[in-house]
Chains A and B, each alone.
Chain A
Amino acid sequence: MSLTLAQQASGDSSVATFNVSGLPSAAIVTKVVVDANSGLTYGGTGAIVSNRVHIKNNSMDNYISVPWGSLNKTEISAGVIGQPAVGTWSIYYNGTNVSTLVGSSWKNMLLQN
């Protein structure tokens, strides 16, 4: 999921998808944890602060949106508990380039599950 922003701008990253399979068909979600500590890379002239994580599976209409967790670890329970686990999941994040330096900054998050 990559995000490039001009100074002081906010925006959404690209959407990454992943498949959950190999579970019993009636498996349901109890909790989702997004741990971004090992997958983040930065570049450019600024600094992007992540604001929120958005996630849904392909049988849900709306994204669940939660604040980015402290130490880059976000736990999501409300809205995902009880959802069918099997299927394709989509995830992206929202950030703000807090730098006052002219130029753009980018942030990339590698998806590993």
Chain B
Amino acid sequence: MRFPTISNDTLKLLGVENKLTSITMPSFSGINSMSTKSAPAMSEEKYKEAIIAQAKKDFENGKFGGHENASYRTLKKSFVSVVSPDRKGSIAQMLRQLPFMQLGNVSYLEVKDAKGNITSTYSPHNGWHAIGTREERNRESEFNTIYTEAWRALKAEAQQQVKPTSSSIDTFI
């Protein structure tokens, strides 16, 4: 026996709604977007200077990194995404290859790079998640080291400056 295919629109008209969410591309622009490979915005030397300048700015404002720190996160994203895999391309390619009727029936997806490492996952309840590659982890670690060393050097310098010395104490007679 052959059953006719009923589209989602027809099901909706009949009052039967497909509760499964159709899978869509994640966002690749903006601070909270998924990381994907990008061209370096500056030379490595300039990146280092920018990270140290960011640490100085944050120290002066009483901050250390942070989710709400837009310039810190933008710089970190720019620095790390130089070594990111092309998630945008690989996800788009995978969605193109999925049969149309399966787009709303995916319960779990893994996208892997050429080496077999998972670079992103999808599930209807969590959406898309980027899984950091070894290169991204190393690059982020490099960012953290430069930033933290610069921030701590500034703090040590500031503590040194506030230490009272005999010559700095005013005396009144």
Contact = CB atoms under 8 A, between A and B. Distances in A.
B132 A58 contact: no
Contact of A59 (B72, B132, B148): B72
A88 B68 CA distance: 11
Interface string A63-86: 111000000000000110111101
Contacts of B69: 59
Nearest to A26: B64
Contact of A25 (B34, B63, B108, B126): B63
B152 A79 contact: no
A84 B131 contact: no
Nearest to A14: B125
B80 interface: yes
B137 A58 contact: no
A60 B140 contact: yes
Interface string B62-73: 111111010011
B131 A61 contact: no
Given A12-B126, A28-B144, A82-B144, A64 B64 contact: no
A84 B35 contact: no
B119 to A, nearest CB: 9
Given A64-B132, A65-B132, A84 B126 contact: no
Nearest to B132: A62
Nearest to B35: A61
A84 B123 contact: no
A86 to B, nearest CB: 8
B62 A25 contact: yes
Nearest to B59: A26
Given A25-B63, A26-B155, A84-B64, A62 B144 contact: no
B77 interface: yes
19 contacts: A9-B107, A11-B123, A14-B125, A15-B126, A26-B64, A28-B148, A58-B67, A59-B73, A60-B132, A60-B140, A62-B130, A62-B131, A62-B136, A64-B132, A65-B118, A65-B131, A79-B137, A86-B64, A87-B67
Contacts of A62: 35, 130-132, 136, 140
A91 to B, nearest CB: 12
